[in-house]
Structure 1
Amino acid sequence: MNARIAIVGGGVAGLYAAMQLQSRGIDDYMLLEAADHFGGRIETVSAGPNDARFDLGATWFWPGIQPQLDRLVRELGIARFAQHESGDTLIERAPGAPPVRMRGYANEPVSMRLAGGMSALVDTIRSRLSMQCLHLDQRVTHLSVAKHSIEIQSINAQGNMSTHSVAHVLLALPPRLASTSIVFDPPLPEALAQSWRDTPTWMAPHAKYLAVYPQAFWRERGLSGAARSASGPLAEIHDASPLEGAAAVFGFIGIPADGRARIGEPALLAACRAQLIRLFGDEARDPHFETIKDWTASRLSATAADRTATPHHWHAPQSEAVAGSWRGRLAGIGSEWSARYPGYVAGAIDAVDAAIESISLSRESRS
């Protein structure tokens, strides 16, 4: 397969890049996604009597500080709603201490969610793309600079290799994953490669627990569904209920990845459920559905270095080589490369817009 531009990765960044290319009349592109589905670190599960949808990956965005993403959501016609925050918050201050009920507060800026989960963004963008340009089950393993092109090698689940020839590559995956899973020939400049390896992959060290119920019984008691805990295993809990159809809470598991592996998922599920009973009462005992999504287990989003959590966001690494064979041929467009919102969904939109503008200007200068 040959094309002018290759997009490596089919999460929000890759799909949005494809949509932006098409909108500029650039239709000679290919998108190569290693998994058998699109979405990347966005994952939504259907559960409950009406198959309501719940996010196990990226969940929120903030229109007040992320106008690009907000504008895209509106242009695509995706319904949105504010995170439920009305009611009191529960706090477990120390292991063994009973939960304390405190007056809740509304976050500013307002956290917003998408009707149908964040996958609604993935699905809506994908529906606008040329399906013949999208290729699942194509894990890119090598990128090589040839005289007038970049040669791409990819492999599918059956071990079959494919070769592709393009003029430009957009890396729509985390910098650390790109630098450790793809062989670059010639090698990237060492300073650039090191900065990519040193950039944490947001969300990769974390695990989420989700419990779905027929009703939001905590709201009936004047609780917001939010909790903070020093007892665990859930360190931070939020109401995850959709606008209609079911109710849910989710929490971030506060145990590091290696500890989660030692405990095992069945015991961890039981411990999370016991914590919800401790906090919200006996009605939390029998969720209609529960699951744990451990992102460290995903080889397509996490590396060994990502097993240790980073407590804060970071400065984005440089997205392109400024000299050498890769100059002007390769650009990072994953969320971590965004200067304004690294690690957020909005960061993917921001990084793509910057890269596509550069490609468009380059194309104009050659015409």
Structure 2
Amino acid sequence: MRTKIAIIGGGLSGVYAAYQLEQCGITDYILLEARDQLGGRIMDFTSLSQATTNSFDLGPTWFWPEFQPQLNAIIKTLNLETFAQYEQGNTLVERSHTQPPTAMPGYTHAPTSMRLKGGMGTLINALHAKLSNKHIVTGALVKTITHQHGNIEVNFSTSNTTDNKVNVEHVMLALPPRLAASQITFTPALPSDLVPQWQNTATWMAPHAKYIAVYDTPFWRKQTLSGSARSSVGPMAEIHDASNPLGQAALFGFIGIPADDRKRISNEDFITHCRAQLVRLFGAQAATPKADIIKDWAQDPLTATHLDTHAANTHAPAPYITAQNGPWYQNLVGIGSEWSVQFPGYVAGAVDAANIGVELYLKKVNA
């Protein structure tokens, strides 16, 4: 198969790049996504009711319209419904095993943390629905990218075949820099100054794990609690209300145990400990969620590498998006969120980096 552009990765940056290309009248591309579904780190969990209003984010949850106007504009263009993160009421603080949790006056974040009704996955679904190009292949793991005689050959495997090829003129890498550097073989090799930059760029969410517990009602609100909590006991270090308006209620928490230590705990035991913590904090009603799940991103090979064992406390600065010279210069461009200078690692960063990548491509072909 031959086409002009290969987009490697079907998370938000990849899907948005495809959308932007089509807005410019360009449909001559193929999008290859290693997972069985689009979305990348935008991934949701649907409770037993199977209603769209009961989808809960396993990956990113919030955005901030006040300082992420580009993302906010897209959400408005797609007519997606938004709502503010619930923060009314007290926050619980759990300092030790020997002391009960303490209720502290809560605070409202400024700017307001906003969510999408139905979860972040609605953004992926809405963009995908706008695409006319059907050359989107899921379950496609890219293994090698070879540049030779002005042609770029992308080799990928699927569940059915191991040696699929597509020939293109341009490649957009819509995956984290660290994954691109560690999981794809480039021929000729990437420049020696570029590889360490990409390898040393931490992948946001990669070291983390998230627990979600779903309930029929947000019973904690009747206790004048916001659903927010901070804990030095664990296993969750930070907890928030994850309820859907007019849908099921939920609490979610970020696991505070390092990735290496989490490997030694079974999923069943982990869930038991998380439920016990919610009972300590919010009472007996928390003991029997309608559904619950842990998503450990550190154990997801399509997100994390061995370099992601230790959590980064801040979003990493953006590396170079392309080689500064040689055959890969402006022919291979990073458009994943971590390549965004403005919002590296954020949902808004995926939009920003994809937009810059598309602009660079248009500049190249129109030169």
TM-score by length of 2: 0.98
Equivalent position to 1:358, from 349, 357, 360: 360
Offset at residue 95 of structure 1 (A): 3.7
Offset at residue 159 of structure 1 (A): 4.3
Equivalent position to 1:76, from 66, 75, 78: 78
Report matched runs for 1:232-247 at 5 Å. Answer: 232-247=234-249
Match of 1:127 in 2: 129
Name the aligned partner's letter for residue 36 of structure 2: D
Looking at structure 1, the residues matched to 124 and 98 of structure 2 have their Cα atoms a distance apart, in angstroms, of 42
Q: Residue 176 in 1 paired to residue 148 in 2?
A: no
Report matched runs for 1:88-167 at 5 Å. Answer: 88-167=90-169
Q: Residue 266 in 1 paired to residue 242 in 2?
A: no
Match of 1:44 in 2: 44
Q: Residue 5 in 1 paired to residue 5 in 2?
A: yes
Looking at structure 2, the residues matched to 264 and 83 of structure 1 have their Cα atoms a distance apart, in angstroms, of 31
Match of 2:338 in 1: 336
Secondary structure at the counterpart of residue 22 of structure 2: helix
Offset at residue 36 of structure 1 (A): 1.2
Looking at structure 2, the residues matched to 272 and 312 of structure 1 have their Cα atoms a distance apart, in angstroms, of 25
Looking at structure 2, the residues matched to 296 and 271 of structure 1 have their Cα atoms a distance apart, in angstroms, of 19
Residue pair 1:49, 1:246 contacting (<8 A) in 2 also: no
Residue pair 1:47, 1:212 contacting (<8 A) in 2 also: yes
Offset at residue 48 of structure 1 (A): 5.0
Match of 1:29 in 2: 29
Offset at residue 335 of structure 1 (A): 0.2
Name the aligned partner's letter for residue 157 of structure 1: S
Secondary structure at the counterpart of residue 6 of structure 1: strand
Residue pair 1:43, 1:57 contacting (<8 A) in 2 also: yes
Q: Deviations over 1:222-254 (max 9, x none)?
A: 000000000100000000001112100000000
Offset at residue 49 of structure 1 (A): 4.1
Looking at structure 2, the residues matched to 333 and 100 of structure 1 have their Cα atoms a distance apart, in angstroms, of 44
Match of 2:220 in 1: 218
RMSD after superposition: 1.0
Offset at residue 137 of structure 1 (A): 1.7
Looking at structure 1, the residues matched to 140 and 289 of structure 2 have their Cα atoms a distance apart, in angstroms, of 37
Offset at residue 362 of structure 1 (A): 1.7
Match of 1:326 in 2: 328
Match of 2:194 in 1: 192
Residue pair 1:145, 1:186 contacting (<8 A) in 2 also: yes
Looking at structure 1, the residues matched to 111 and 66 of structure 2 have their Cα atoms a distance apart, in angstroms, of 6
Looking at structure 2, the residues matched to 48 and 110 of structure 1 have their Cα atoms a distance apart, in angstroms, of 30
Secondary structure at the counterpart of residue 358 of structure 1: helix
Looking at structure 2, the residues matched to 344 and 272 of structure 1 have their Cα atoms a distance apart, in angstroms, of 26
Structure 2 unpaired stretches of 5+: none
Residue pair 1:48, 1:214 contacting (<8 A) in 2 also: no
Residue pair 1:195, 1:317 contacting (<8 A) in 2 also: yes
Offset at residue 96 of structure 1 (A): 2.9
Match of 2:18 in 1: 18
TM-score by length of 1: 0.98
Structure 1 unpaired stretches of 5+: none
Residue pair 2:154, 2:165 contacting (<8 A) in 1 also: yes
Query: Which stretch shows the higher mean deviation, 143-152 or 173-182?
Result: 143-152
Looking at structure 2, the residues matched to 35 and 246 of structure 1 have their Cα atoms a distance apart, in angstroms, of 27
Query: Which stretch shows the higher mean deviation, 9-18 or 40-49?
Result: 40-49
Q: Deviations over 1:283-341 (max 9, x none)?
A: 11111111101111211111111121111112100111011111120100000000000
Offset at residue 132 of structure 1 (A): 2.1
Query: Which stretch shows the higher mean deviation, 90-99 or 7-16?
Result: 90-99
Match of 2:289 in 1: 287
